[in-house]
Structure 1
Amino acid sequence: MSEARLAPNMPDWMVRHANTYLSSGGKEGHDYRIAPAGYGEMVVPALLLTTTGRKSGEKFIFPLFYGKAGDSYVIVASKGGAPEHPGWYRNILANPEVEIQVGTTKLKARARTASGEERAGLWQLALGFWPPYADYQKKTDREIPVVVLDPLG
């Protein structure tokens, strides 16, 4: 099995963010400072998600904003409101066993897509840590998936 690498075709800011996170061992990049268009500067918690490619079988790393729900982590498959789901989400549909790094802590988790009332509550949580998700939802016809990462062990 190959070592995990950054996912291809990520925007430059995500590559820089992931590289900072990785090179610091998680000491930097966990709290990501950003000023999205139409919003003031904010600090957003970020984790690194490692998925297994659904076609290649390779391990890919994606930096993502997250929230906490109990012991689980909540991430959003927004892709900025693009018409299609992000690659990492398609990967977890094929193989929900993932690895995450939150700061300096690394753990294995199982990903699942929230639905119904659980999704509604977690969507509100997500809007709390990254308000632009509301704008992304307006840009697309798809329901943006809210993903729960349940730690294993």
Structure 2
Amino acid sequence: MADAQVHDSPTEWVKEHIRVYVESGGREGHLWRGTPTLLLTTKGRRSGLLRRTALIYGRDGDAYVVVGSQGGKPAHPSWYLNLEAEPRVEVQVGAEAFTATARTATAEERARLWPLMADIWPDYDAYQKKTTREIPVVILERS
């Protein structure tokens, strides 16, 4: 994955966040509004292109945890649909980059991890109330 061209989020403020994160080697951008973020690169399920976005994360032991909230919109974010199709992903946390396997948390894991993530970003609770879909919690484990 690392040798192919990566396409950053088309959302301008996210694209700028990623640019700062990458250009600074993770020294800048890791904290966004005081909240820890990582860069997640997935393989496009239709295009096959590598797609990168920035996401708020939490930790569960050695694993990283992210939420597919998309601000409470009715559909899952593209990055989530991509990792469902291809769970092997690239992750950058600060200066460290690694390959990981992504999976959706089980119902039991989600029940435990949702409060952890809502403590990090309280808006997740409001996002869940805005939509009828169950917002997925994703676990990223080093490969």
TM-score, with structure 1 as normaliser: 0.89
User: In structure 2, what is the equivalent of residue 58 of structure 1?
Assistant: 49
Structure 1 counterpart of 2:76, which letter?
H
Partner in structure 2 of residue 133 of structure 1 = 124
One-letter code aligned to 2:128: Q
Instruction: Give 1:13 shift.
Output: 2.0
Residue matched to 2:66: 75
How many residues are matched?
141
State the match for 1:28 in structure 2: 28
TM-superposed deviation, 1:77: 0.2
Instruction: Give the deviation of 1:4 after TM superposition.
Output: 1.2
> 1:106 aligns to what SS in structure 2?
strand
Q: Which amino acid aligns with 1:140?
A: T
Shift of 1:87: 0.2
Query: Which segments of 5 or more consecutive residues in structure 1 lack a partner in the other structure?
Result: 34-42
Runs of 4+ in 1 over 4 A off after TM superposition: none
Residue 124 of structure 1 is matched in structure 2 by 115
CA shift for structure 1 position 24: 0.7
Aligned mates of 1:71, 1:5 — CA distance in 2: 28
1:116: how far off? 1.6
For 1:122, what is the secondary structure of its paired residue? helix
Corresponding residue for residue 38 of structure 1: none
User: Secondary structure at the residue paired with 1:28?
Assistant: coil
Whole-angstrom distance in 2 between the partners of 1:67 and 1:25: 20
Partner in structure 2 of residue 110 of structure 1: 101
Residue 86, structure 1, aligned to residue 77, structure 2: yes
RMSD in angstroms over aligned alpha carbons? 1.0
Name the structure 2 match of 1:40.
none
User: Paired residue for 2:13?
Assistant: 13
* Counterpart Cα distance in 1 of 2:123 and 2:14: 16
Q: Which amino acid aligns with 2:29?
A: G
TM-score (norm 2): 0.95
